[in-house]
Structure 1
Amino acid sequence: MSAEDRLALDQLTTLRLRRCGAREDVISEGEVPRDVNLILSGWACRYKQLEDGRRQILAFFLPGDICDLNVYILREMDHSVAALTPLVVGELPRDALEEVMQRHPRIAKALWWETLVNAATQREWTVSLGKRSAFERMSHLFCELFFRLRAIGFTSESQCELPLTQAELADATGLSAVHVNRTLQELRGAGLIQLKDRVLRIPDLRALKEAALFNPNYLHLDHEGRGLDANRS
């Protein structure tokens, strides 16, 4: 993007900021969406909750992610977005966002790119729930999060922050909490991960990718991202 594009984005994302505490809903199912939510810091998730309290996490949001680009078109939310950690959200007004997209074609293209990547990621999660074993499912999720965090500069060599509880991992992978615990022990025993104090360390990324049958093509990393993948894994 040009310097002008970046300036427009900076101005847009600082128009209105909102802070949320961990486990607090950014927006709940049934609410009327008015703004587009951009994650500026912290982790969040998209989820659906059944009437008996069971929850399915549908996506994780990291810094720089837009929760739903065109959500304001809907009359009401059909899902919820919640903070998993303390969160800072930029609330992008509909009119201001549409104006920026009209004036800056490269920004509009980048936003559509993100929408397509989100759809591709959702397809991959569906494959995990339908076809991958628990071992593959958890390995795949860790690979995905590591690659996404590395793309935004949030990894240090072979490790990254992972502020997710076992209950949240269960809600994301469709496993029971007991099964998640057992699967994490299997991954540790195989030497594929080290997980302690909210930090995930991957001693051998190539080995974890092979265990997960992980192909990062659905993340559609840019040229620099693909180069990092080739050099580091």
Structure 2
Amino acid sequence: MDTAEPTTVGIINRENWIGALPAPVREAIEARMTRFTVAPGMPVKRAGEAATRIFQVETGFLSLIGLHVDGRQALITIYAAGNCFSETAMIVRREHNHTTIALTPAVVRQLERDDFWELYHRHPEIPEALCRKFAEAISRQMASREQRATQRLGQRIATMFANLAEHAGESVVGGETRILLPITQSNIADIFDVTRQSVHREVSHLKQLGIVDKRHGDWVVIDSERLRQICSY
């Protein structure tokens, strides 16, 4: 967990600004962090709580959850190993806007508020790294809006499956990839702000083409090459 990946558009990315810091600074942060484990469905932080620490995923996957006006939960994004979160709320001294819940068994690191600010002021590399993170987050938002405006829903869903397979996939017999996350069609509809019926239509088309399938509750990418071709149309 010691490298940073470039900005990508997808439901999962492994942005890791702490890992990209010079070794002495990174080690100073990690020395102050403590670990805890979370079981699937358990919250790491809740909307409305004060931001008293920042977090980093060590292993497993967490989901960032928002709320519709009618009270329904909506999946916003998924944090993978390396992802850091809650820095924005910490820096602007506000409550958390969203809830973060474990999708799988996970180990999470946390850095308490006083430790964060002491290190922030001691090491100029930290605010610089956070500026880059926030700039990249804005770039991802803009790229996502452009993708939504220029790509068909089927293409965006194909890109999502490719992203899931890359970051949360397990190779199985026959060259297929099993996605290790419990993603539903309702989750996909929330991500793209469309109806579940629209998602069902596009996913059914991918199934008919023999590109993806759902087996025993898990999504399986059958033909990665054809999936990539649809993503690039």
TM-score (norm 1): 0.70
Amino acid at match of 1:48: G
Q: CA offsets per residue over residues 95-122 of structure 1, 9 Å max, x none?
A: 3234444555555544443333333333
- Closer, same or farther: CA 103–190 of 1 in aligned 2, 3 Å: farther
Output the CA distance in 2 between the equivalents of 1:186 and 1:180: 10
Q: Which of these residues, 15, 39, 59, is aligned with residue 77 of structure 2?
A: 59
The question of whether the paired residues in 2 share the 8 Å contact of 1:22 and 1:84 is answered with yes
Q: Which of these residues, 224, 228, 232, is aligned with residue 204 of structure 1?
A: 224
Q: Which of these residues, 19, 39, 42, is aligned with residue 57 of structure 2?
A: 39
TM-fit CA distance, 1:163:
0.6
Q: Which of these residues, 157, 180, 185, is aligned with residue 162 of structure 1?
A: 180
- Closer, same or farther: CA 170–114 of 1 in aligned 2, 3 Å: same
Amino acid at match of 2:62: A
Output the CA distance in 2 between the equivalents of 1:200 and 1:186: 14
Q: Which of these residues, 105, 108, 111, is aligned with residue 92 of structure 1?
A: 111
Percent identity over paired residues:
21
- Closer, same or farther: CA 6–195 of 1 in aligned 2, 3 Å: farther
Output the CA distance in 1 between the equivalents of 2:135 and 2:180: 25
Q: Which of these residues, 188, 191, 194, is aligned with residue 172 of structure 1?
A: 191
Output the CA distance in 1 between the equivalents of 2:220 and 2:58: 22
User: Does residue 4 of the first structure (1) align with residue 52 of the second (2)?
Assistant: no
Q: CA offsets per residue over residues 121-179 of structure 1, 9 Å max, x none?
A: 333333455554331221122233445x28xxx76587363313313223222233444
Q: CA offsets per residue over residues 64-104 of structure 1, 9 Å max, x none?
A: 11123232123222222222223322121233234444555
- Closer, same or farther: CA 80–2 of 1 in aligned 2, 3 Å: closer
The question of whether the paired residues in 2 share the 8 Å contact of 1:33 and 1:77 is answered with yes
Output the CA distance in 2 between the equivalents of 1:135 and 1:171: 15
Correspondences of 1:101-116 after superposition (within 5 Å): 101-104=120-123, 109-116=128-135
Output the CA distance in 2 between the equivalents of 1:40 and 1:178: 36
Amino acid at match of 1:45: S
Number of aligned residues: 207
**Which residue number corresponds to residue 24 of structure 1?**
42
Output the CA distance in 1 between the equivalents of 2:142 and 2:67: 20
- Closer, same or farther: CA 146–140 of 1 in aligned 2, 3 Å: same
- Closer, same or farther: CA 55–130 of 1 in aligned 2, 3 Å: farther
- Closer, same or farther: CA 29–130 of 1 in aligned 2, 3 Å: farther
**Which residue number corresponds to residue 49 of structure 1?**
67
Output the CA distance in 1 between the equivalents of 2:178 and 2:81: 14
The question of whether the paired residues in 2 share the 8 Å contact of 1:31 and 1:76 is answered with yes
Output the CA distance in 1 between the equivalents of 2:119 and 2:71: 40
Uncovered stretches (5+) of structure 1, i.e. residues with no partner: 215-233
Uncovered stretches (5+) of structure 2, i.e. residues with no partner: 1-20
Output the CA distance in 2 between the equivalents of 1:196 and 1:30: 38
TM-score (norm 2): 0.70
Output the CA distance in 1 between the equivalents of 2:197 and 2:96: 32
Query: SS of 1:78's equivalent?
Result: coil
